[in-house]
Amino acid sequence: MTNNKREIDLSHDKASSQTLTNPCTEPYFCGSWYIASNAVDRNMSSCTRTGVIGGSSPDTSVWWRVDLGDIYSIHSIRILFKDFGSAYVMRQRGRFAGFSIYLSNSTNREDWVLCYKDGPELPPLDFNTTCIKYGRYVVYYNERLDDVTYPDGYKTQSITMLCEVIVYGCAKNGVYGVNCDLPCPANCQELRCHIVNGSCLGCRPGWTGDKCDKPCPFGWYGIGCENKCLGYCKNNVTCNNESGNCVGGCASGWMGVICNIECVNGTFGPGCIHNCSGNCLNDSHCNKTTGSCDLGCRPGYIGPFCNKTCPVGTYGNFCRKTCSDNCFNGTVCNYVDGICSNGCNNGYTGYRCNTRKTYKYKQ
């Protein structure tokens, strides 16, 4: 055999296995005929044979599998079926007709991904197909079901004879091209790209385009750019195209890595790092964005943040009231309630010293 493919033979002498249907009863077909590895030894004189499926056989399906040893970028698959000469070509083609080739990253049947399905024409005994995928296991599968009418030329009783199964591809990950020496684009998911043109077979989170060289559009992130940014990033920038996080921090009034959590009562600002003054009217909480007391201040405080006490000599709501001139020795009253804390000058009484004392004289 001549390997005129540009990629490398990935299946040569790799571990293989097959279903052993219909235990060997014919001496000619016993022994080495049933060794699965005959199909990967690159010796055309040794082939592997399965038992009979369909017709009078109790078995209806058969498979052969090679383990490439790792997940590789595959380009094409060549199968050389047993050729007994021109007199038997049509018989052999009818036996193999209708087969399928699957790829998988595990040995579970549920993980098989179809690469090729033969039919209705009869396959050549030297078969080639392009199969640009990634996989570790290559599976040949065929079946003959009792309730199916098969196309002309199909043998309803089938025997599979595989002389060689050659899987061509790149023997290392993250490359493509004629010589498997071109690096896949950096943002390809798991560095996997089309073995011919280098287009990504999926992008890392946050990237899009054939070569995954374009970040997600503004306001979107994640795998396939399918997730909408949820938070409020600082300066109205978009979230990180990969993670959805607000890398530069949160806008005022919000917190969390994606800035989607509103500040708790009593806090405000970017990331909610500031505490309200505590002097907003009626114990109301300040504005979570600016920190201002939008409903006004408690008595004794002024300013947009209610963090300043009334000017000396004033008190109460909006500091509109004036302390009594009768506080003791000219001391000022309390800026909240106007009480003269040090007492009153002679002749005055009351909390705010605004009541004249009256004296009763004895007759």
Per-residue pLDDT of the chain (363 residues; tens, 9 = 90+): 444 445 699 999 999 999 875 556 555 556 667 789 999 999 998 999 888 899 888 899 999 999 999 999 999 999 999 999 999 999 999 999 999 999 999 999 999 999 999 999 999 999 999 999 999 999 999 999 998 999 999 999 999 999 999 999 999 889 999 889 999 999 999 999 999 999 999 999 999 999 999 999 999 999 999 999 988 999 989 999 999 999 989 999 999 999 999 999 999 999 999 999 999 987 778 999 999 999 999 999 999 999 999 999 999 999 999 999 999 988 889 999 999 999 999 999 999 999 998 766 555
Q: Is it true that domain 8-170 has CATH number 2.60.120.260?
A: yes
Q: Specify the pLDDT at position 1.
A: 43
362 three-class SS: coil
Measuring CA to CA, which residue among 248, 242, 174 is closest to residue 208? 242
Q: Specify the pLDDT at position 4.
A: 41
Q: Specify the pLDDT at position 357.
A: 82
- The pTM score is 0.70
Question: Do the Cβ atoms of 319 and 305 come closer than 8 Å?
Answer: no
Paired tokens of 23: 């235990």
CA distance 335 to 333: 6
Q: Specify the pLDDT at position 253.
A: 94
Residue holding tokens 């005022």?
252
Paired tokens of 344: 């009153």
Q: Which long-range contacts (CB under 8 A, 24 or more apart) does 325-330 make?
A: 326/353, 326/354, 327/353, 328/353
Paired tokens of 240: 């990180």
Q: Specify the pLDDT at position 2.
A: 40
Q: Specify the pLDDT at position 92.
A: 96
Longest Cα–Cα distance in the chain: 155
Question: Do the Cβ atoms of 200 and 188 come closer than 8 Å?
Answer: yes
